Structure 1
Amino acid sequence: MNSNKINILEFPSNLGLKKSNSEIEPGVKKLPEWLKRHGFHKKINPEKTLRIEPPKYTMDLDVESGVRNADKIIEYAIKQSKILSDTIDKNIFQVIIGGDCSILIGNSIALKQKGNYGLFFIDGHTDFIWPELSGTGGAAGMDLAIVTGYGHNKLTNIYNQKPYFKEKNVFCVGNREYDPEYVSPILESDIQYFDLKRLRSNGFTKTANQFLELVWQNNLDGFFIHLDVDVLNDDIMPAVDSREIDGLTYKEFRELLTPLLSSKKAVGIEITILDPNLDPKGKYVDEFIKNFIEILENGKAST
């Protein structure tokens, strides 16, 4: 971590998800309050806690971009980027709580405006597809593609900053949706891609250190971590919108994340997709908080 001082930024947008038939709207917008209720904020003891309320949820499909709620996502991303631009500081580490994965867009814009950053993308899916390949039209399933410049310019080129991350500066790790049509786009990209099988074969600490070596070799100003909790094993984190069998154990999660948070080049991490509606007793969030705080404390100790 670039500092042992921490800000918490709450960006509880659910605009990137398509709701299920049984929902009024996706419950991921409740995540900041849920984490706070279970002691997350108190354990972190942030310098500041800042929050931006999202636009009202709809399922509107934007014809121009092929993405649901595109205009509202852009509006929210711009507000996010302004807050994050004001708080990014070499003496403050940013813990950003979603929401869904579409919050990566606003965070990416802020980082691009500040310099040349890398992205370590930890997710149970690649999120590297285009609208025509998406079954939902949700930006939360396309966020990695969007921030690396794929898709309509209204989302990929806000403030003429396209791409927000260069493909060569991105690692995507943890995907376990192995359908050839789904993974084909990322295999054809310049992103360093480690699906769950390859990640285990290569080693978690080794993979993290390979990314850190890339950060230094490319003389990047720093890097940001995207964490979708659906990367975790379904037995220990089923409170997500798109479940898959298998996934990281907490031991594997610790081995992967500890070297990253121990690096002085790490400027922030976003936590997405954990849905309190799917964890009414807090069983899964409590275990997540316990493990995440332990890893975070190790990162602070290395600063």
Structure 2
Amino acid sequence: MKKLSILGMPMDLGQLRRGVDMGPSAIRYAGINERLNKLFNEIEDLGDIEVGRPAVKVDSDTGLRNLELIADKTKILAEKVDQVVAKDSFPLILGGDHSIAIGTIAGLLQHYQNLGVIWYDAHGDLNTPETSPSGNIHGMSLAVSLGLGHPMLTEVGGETAILKSENIVIIGARSLDEGERELIKEKGIKVYTMHEIDRLGMTTVMEETINYLKGKTDGVHLSLDLDGLDPNDAPGVGTPVMGGISYRESHLAMEMLAESNIITSAEFVEVNPILDEKNKTATAAVALMGSLFGEKLL
């Protein structure tokens, strides 16, 4: 495989629980470079974007936490991702909470007219300032990428960097707010909840996902939140939801994506080592990356 560029985004500004800013370090400690070295001709680790430890600020008009900071930092990430794609390298972003996807997707949209997104997550992250029960921006990132939300966030990649709702597939959803459910129906977003995964099986879910995206996209981004997995397999996440996708099912999903050859970028987010057990969640993330990039047992 070609060149891989790893970039850490140690940002925990999109939610309340601290610790997810240490996610990129935990993933590196779990051996990401050693695991992926044999799968790429060249790997460059670009280090981490500087985020610091700013105090929490709540926007008085909207109730959004850390609005300006997240807008500023995701804009930096968008520029970095843009640069990585421009030099024909595969961007792999390590989070950080899921608000970082605002920057990742904004950067990718500088290069793709019909970007597809697989949102592997227990949550839809489709809230807006009007529907959010918390004001946490990590629960709004996919809506922002659709052009819905505060202008400071929706314009991170410029006014035209808008994701198309028909190019999204959410996999693993099991915790959706009322406003998110309405938006999914209104926009016709394709969602495989845990009900569909249990009923159809992961093989069918992934076959349908790949076929749905393959013909109409010019690139597909995988945005994988570790809370998509069951907390037994990935305990180190900020918002765990019981009854999630198993470790084995997730490996199968990644292997099928590798075989399909449609993934052009990826991010792994919400690893929180403070809440973890012996770095289990970061280790799972690295193992899934191995499968995504074509690692085989035989």
TM-score (norm. length: structure 2): 0.89
Is the contact between residue 127 and residue 179 of structure 2 (CA under 8 Å) also seen in structure 1?
no
Aligned to 1:261: 258
Deviation at 1:271, TM superposition (A): 0.6
Aligned to 1:73: 70
**Pair 1:49-2:11 in alignment:** no
| Residues 67-216 of structure 1 mapped to structure 2, 5 A cutoff | 67-88=64-85, 91-116=88-113, 117-162=115-160, 164-177=162-175, 183-216=181-214
Aligned to 1:23: none
Pair 1:181–1:111, CA change in 2 (3 A): closer
**Pair 1:35-2:27 in alignment:** yes
**Pair 1:10-2:8 in alignment:** yes
SS in 1 for 2:126: coil
Deviation at 1:292, TM superposition (A): 1.3
Is the contact between residue 104 and residue 143 of structure 1 (CA under 8 Å) also seen in structure 2?
yes
Aligned to 1:222: 219
Is the contact between residue 156 and residue 162 of structure 1 (CA under 8 Å) also seen in structure 2?
no
Q: Name the aligned partner's letter for residue 292 of structure 1.
A: L
Distance 1:214 1:89 in 2: 27
Pair 1:180–1:38, CA change in 2 (3 A): same
Is the contact between residue 122 and residue 226 of structure 1 (CA under 8 Å) also seen in structure 2?
yes
SS in 2 for 1:160: coil
Q: Deviations over 1:224-246 (max 9, x none)?
A: 01000001111111211112111
SS in 2 for 1:58: coil
Q: Deviations over 1:233-271 (max 9, x none)?
A: 111112111121110111111222222233333111101
Distance 1:156 1:140 in 2: 14
Is the contact between residue 204 and residue 252 of structure 1 (CA under 8 Å) also seen in structure 2?
yes
CA-based RMSD of the aligned residues comes to 2.3
Distance 1:123 1:102 in 2: 13
Q: Name the aligned partner's letter for residue 63 of structure 1.
A: S
Pair 1:98–1:115, CA change in 2 (3 A): same
**Pair 1:285-2:286 in alignment:** no
Aligned residues: 291
SS in 2 for 1:224: strand
Where does the alignment leave 5 or more consecutive residues of structure 1 unmatched? Answer: 20-25
SS in 1 for 2:10: coil
Distance 1:123 1:90 in 2: 29
Q: Name the aligned partner's letter for residue 187 of structure 2.
A: S
Q: Name the aligned partner's letter for residue 33 of structure 2.
A: H
More moved, 52-61 vs 239-248 = 52-61
Is the contact between residue 31 and residue 275 of structure 1 (CA under 8 Å) also seen in structure 2?
yes
Q: Deviations over 1:190-218 (max 9, x none)?
A: 21111111233233233223233233322
Q: Name the aligned partner's letter for residue 206 of structure 2.
A: A
TM-score (norm. length: structure 1): 0.87
Is the contact between residue 148 and residue 162 of structure 1 (CA under 8 Å) also seen in structure 2?
no
Pair 1:4–1:249, CA change in 2 (3 A): farther
